Amino acid sequence: HEMKVDLHLDKKAKRVLDIETQAFRAPYRNICELPFTKSKELIGSTIDSEFGSRVRTRLGGPSGCTHLVDMILDTTRYLNAG
């Protein structure tokens, strides 16, 4: 696996402004690339207690990518810290 996630956030409003994802290397090209094409669906999402569920629903599951989900959730987790 080799991938990139560029996530642009409004930290004050805790909202996703833009997201760019790319899979450079993936074990199953036709399956693994699908969630990357769907990542734009997160634009406008509020990073609240339901954000993780929304990310998993859209980008995870049997036809998703757990690595992409983890990268996005790890990136946004700091907004709720402190």
Predicted pLDDT at 26: 75
Q: Which two tokens stand for residue 81?
A: 């810290």
Predicted pLDDT at 81: 59
pLDDT in tens, 21-79: 988 877 777 777 788 899 999 999 999 999 999 999 999 988 889 999 999 999 898 77
Q: What is the pTM of this model?
A: 0.87
Contacts of residue 46, Cβ cutoff 8 Å, sequence gap at least 6: 13, 14, 15
Predicted pLDDT at 58: 94
| Residue 82 pLDDT greater than 70, yes or no | no
